[in-house]
């Protein structure tokens, strides 16, 4: 990705060392959210888009986007680019390709781990059942 200036110029513009930016660029260091928020405007991107670019696995992204499109509003959280970026990051950490069923399991597990309410559902004081996620008691067949 090029914004028309050198690594040293970029480092000076965002208040980071050229060495650290080089490590980030070559996937040897993880940028902080603060650094990402300073880098994104330099490339004319949102933080979400920059994260997607830095950690992108194009095949995995296409697979997840196809699943989100197919499920549509039945799974509102999958329509959120930030949520898909989180899922892609988790998939990258796992280091393996995921099937649609595995994407859905990961999606449900992250919702549960983060204790997120199901979009559109009434608030409850009890934790959601294991792996219920956005599907409630029954998940659609995959």
* Co-location of 70 and 50 in the same domain: no
In a domain, 13, yes or no: yes
Among residues 30, 34, 18, 20, the alpha carbon closest in space to that of 55 is found at 30
| pLDDT at res. 133 | 45
* Rounded mean pLDDT, 42-47: 87
Directed axis angle between helix 58-71 and helix 81-94, to 10°? Answer: 130
77 neighbors 111 (Cβ within 8 angstroms): yes
Question: CA separation (Å) from 31 to 22, 38, 51, 77?
Answer: 11, 11, 9, 25
Least confident of 63-67, 89-93, 98-102, 132-136: 132-136
Q: Are residues 42 and 103 part of one domain?
A: no
More confident residue, 120 or 127: 120
More confident residue, 39 or 131: 39
Whether pLDDT at 93 is above 60: yes
Tell whether 105 and 71 lie within a shared domain. yes
Asked whether residue 100 is domain-assigned, the answer is: yes
Tokens of 51: 């994260």
């Amino acid at each position: 990705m090029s914004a028309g200036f050198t690594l040293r110029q970029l480092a000076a513009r965002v208040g980071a060392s050229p060495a650290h930016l080089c490590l980030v660029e070559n996937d040897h260091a993880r940028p902080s959210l603060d650094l990402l928020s300073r880098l994104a405007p330099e490339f004319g991107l949102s933080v979400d888009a920059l994260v997607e670019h830095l950690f992108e696995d194009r095949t995995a992204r296409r697979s997840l986007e196809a699943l989100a499109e197919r499920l549509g509003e039945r799974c509102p959280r999958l329509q959120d680019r930030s949520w898909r970026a989180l899922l892609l990051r988790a998939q990258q950490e796992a280091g393996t390709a995921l099937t649609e069923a595995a994407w859905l399991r990961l999606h449900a597990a992250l919702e549960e781990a983060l204790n997120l309410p199901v979009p559109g559902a009434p608030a409850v004081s009890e934790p959601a059942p294991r792996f219920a996620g956005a599907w409630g008691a029954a998940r659609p067949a995959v």
